[in-house]
Every structure is written in structure tokens, then in C-alpha cells.
């Protein structure tokens, strides 16, 4: 049996986490649109890559805090299908940063019982990034703590098109019939198969858009917009988002009385 857990929080942080755990539900699945790296850098007169670099620190802190809180799934929108259209030098720098972050962090993630997964068209990533990514996935595959999903070269429409194509192929091959196409079946064809839908979607930098993220999966997620840029988003911001989530009533289309 794997008895390892995330390294425990210390001091005041441990108290804050305890308070969150006691005051309500900790979301099972948190999805994050990490936005504002470029603006963070610009307001400081720094190159955009400095914002991405600092953003890695926020990733580190958020992953660690989620593990300690007992969040089971964390999905980070790290590189969208549309991000390939950015200037070539920014794309190259982002890829190098990703590769370095995976190389430097995998051992720690493993020690903290985090299991790494990915969603997206990962074959289009540079070979060296794929190698680090698959190494992290392989090394952590037995871990039982936080499931960290890195959405890379991902978009919600890409996910849906891929699912529809596969359903069409299976229908043509006679493995399924059109009558068998239900919500549950579609979920099995999405890249998030067997992963519960996000309870909470956090987006930073004050923007109110879904930006082609988990279009199907976010149907009933609670949305929390943080006004800080991603490089400023650290565990205290995460706690604020969870506290806010805990104050919401999730009705899933029903009325309050039905939930009692």
C-alpha cells in the first residue's frame, strides 16, 4: 500500500488549511486558466518570459497546496491549441520552460505522491518536451495523491472533434449504434475519461472567458475569477477561491428545496 502523502503544511498555513477542510467541501476537481503572465511582466518592465518564469512558482505553490488540502484532481491549462500562433520565440521559450519545469519538479512531485497526466495533442510538442512529459507520467504512475493534469496543446473543441470522430468511426465499424450515444458514452470518448468534471474553475487576471478550455466538462462548474495575474496567484489566493466555492449553492438545474 502506498502510504505517502503530500508534505504537510506548516504553522499558520496548516491552520488555514484545517479551517478550509472543516468549513465545507474541498472541491474534488479544480481546473485553472492561468492567465496574465505577460501583463505581470509588462507592468514591471520585464520581458514576457519573466512572467512565465514567475508563473512556474505559482504552479509549484498551487500544486503543493492542492495536495495538502486533499484535492484529488487539478487540471492546469498550460498551453492551448491557439497558443501555437504566438510569436515563434515565445513558443520556443515556453517549451523550454516547460521542459525544465518537468525535469526539475518530477522528483518532488513523486515524493509528494502526485500523479502526472496530460491531455491534449501532445504529439505536436517538441520531442524533448514529450520525453520529459512521458518520463514524469511514467515515474509517477503508481502515486495515489493529487492527480495533476497538464493540458498541453489542448482545446475543448479539439477534444470534442476528436471524440465525435472516434464515435463516428466506431459507429461505422458497428461497435456502437447511434442509439447508444448518450452523455455517458460521449464522456468515455473525451480525453478526461474517468475524471470527474471540475467542481471549480479558477481564472486569473480578471478575464471572464472560458477560452476554449474544457467546454463539455465545465457544464456545471462553479467559476471563480481572481483579479490577480497568474504569477501573483499563490496559495492564499487559492484558499480565497475555495472559501468562495464553499459559500455557493450548487443546484445542477434544480431548486434549493430539492437539495435539502
Per annotation, catalytic residue among 2, 37, 53, 83: 83
Which residue from 30, 71, 99, 101 is in contact with ligand FPP, where contact means CB under 6 A? 101
Per annotation, catalytic residue among 35, 53, 147, 199: 35
Cα separation, 260 vs 249, whole angstroms: 11
Stretch that binds ligand FPP, among 49-57, 129-137, 157-165, 195-203 (CB under 6 A): 49-57
Stretch that binds ligand FPP, among 20-28, 94-102, 116-124, 176-184 (CB under 6 A): 94-102
Cell digits of residue 93:
521559450
Q: Judge residue 157's burial from the number of C-beta atoms within 10 Å of its C-beta, 0-12 exposed, 13-18 middle, 19 or more buried.
A: exposed
Residue 59 contacts ligand FPP per CB under 6 A: yes
Which residue from 6, 31, 55, 149 is in contact with ligand FPP, where contact means CB under 6 A? 55
The alpha carbon dihedral of 240, 41, 62, 212 has a sign of positive
Cell digits of residue 78:
498550460
Between 19 and 57, CB nearer to ligand FPP: 57
Cα separation, 77 vs 204, whole angstroms: 12
Between 94 and 195, CB nearer to ligand FPP: 94
Side-chain half-sphere of 254: how many Cα atoms within 13 Å? Answer: 9
Cα separation, 105 vs 108, whole angstroms: 5
Clarify whether 83 is annotated catalytic.
yes
Reference 146, options 23, 29, 38; nearest CA is: 29
Window 156 to 195, contacts with ligand FPP (CB under 6 A): none
Cα separation, 201 vs 178, whole angstroms: 32
Clarify whether 35 is annotated catalytic.
yes
- Ranges of beta strands (E only) in 3-156 are 29-33, 73-80, 115-119, 147-154
Window 60 to 89, contacts with ligand FPP (CB under 6 A): 76, 78, 83
77: three-class secondary structure by DSSP: strand
Between 76 and 163, CB nearer to ligand FPP: 76
- Closest approach, Cβ 104 to ligand FPP, in A, equals 10
Stretch that binds ligand FPP, among 21-29, 50-58, 179-187, 218-226 (CB under 6 A): 50-58
Residue 120 contacts ligand FPP per CB under 6 A: no
Window 218 to 237, contacts with ligand FPP (CB under 6 A): 230
Cα separation, 179 vs 131, whole angstroms: 41
Closest-by-Cβ residue to ligand FPP is: 38
Residue 176 CB coordination number (10 Å)? 15
Stretch that binds ligand FPP, among 20-28, 55-63, 134-142, 218-226 (CB under 6 A): 55-63
Which residue from 5, 16, 21, 39 is in contact with ligand FPP, where contact means CB under 6 A? 39
Residues in contact with ligand FPP by the rule CB under 6 A: 34-39, 52, 55-56, 59, 76, 78, 83, 97-98, 101, 150, 230
Annotated active-site positions, please?
Answer: 35, 83
Amino acid at each position: 500500500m502506498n502510504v505517502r502523502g503530500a508534505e504537510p503544511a506548516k504553522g499558520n498555513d496548516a491552520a488555514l488549511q484545517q479551517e478550509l477542510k472543516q468549513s465545507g467541501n474541498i472541491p474534488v476537481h479544480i481546473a485553472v486558466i492561468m492567465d496574465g503572465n505577460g501583463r505581470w511582466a509588462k507592468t514591471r518592465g520585464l520581458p514576457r518570459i519573466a512572467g512565465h518564469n514567475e508563473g512556474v512558482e505559482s504552479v509549484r505553490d498551487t500544486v503543493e497546496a492542492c495536495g495538502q488540502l486533499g484535492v484529488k484532481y487539478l487540471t492546469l491549462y498550460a498551453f492551448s491549441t491557439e497558443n501555437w500562433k504566438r510569436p515563434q520565440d515565445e513558443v520556443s521559450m515556453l517549451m523550454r520552460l516547460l521542459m525544465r519545469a518537468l525535469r526539475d519538479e518530477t522528483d518532488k512531485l513523486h515524493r509528494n505522491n502526485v500523479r502526472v497526466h496530460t491531455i491534449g495533442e501532445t504529439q505536436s510538442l517538441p520531442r524533448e518536451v514529450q520525453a520529459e512529459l512521458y518520463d514524469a507520467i511514467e515515474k509517477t504512475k503508481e502515486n495515489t495523491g493529487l492527480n495533476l493534469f497538464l493540458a498541453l496543446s489542448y482545446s475543448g473543441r479539439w477534444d470534442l472533434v476528436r471524440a465525435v470522430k472516434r464515435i463516428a468511426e466506431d459507429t461505422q465499424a458497428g461497435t456502437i449504434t447511434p442509439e447508444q450515444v448518450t452523455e455517458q458514452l460521449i464522456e468515455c470518448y473525451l480525453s478526461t475519461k474517468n475524471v470527474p468534471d471540475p467542481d471549480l474553475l479558477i481564472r486569473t487576471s480578471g478575464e471572464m472567458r472560458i477560452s476554449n478550455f474544457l467546454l463539455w466538462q465545465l457544464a456545471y462548474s462553479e467559476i471563480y475569477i481572481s483579479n490577480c495575474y497568474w504569477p501573483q496567484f499563490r496559495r492564499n489566493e487559492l484558499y480565497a477561491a475555495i472559501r468562495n466555492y464553499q459559500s455557493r449553492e450548487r443546484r445542477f438545474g434544480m431548486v434549493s428545496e430539492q437539495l435539502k
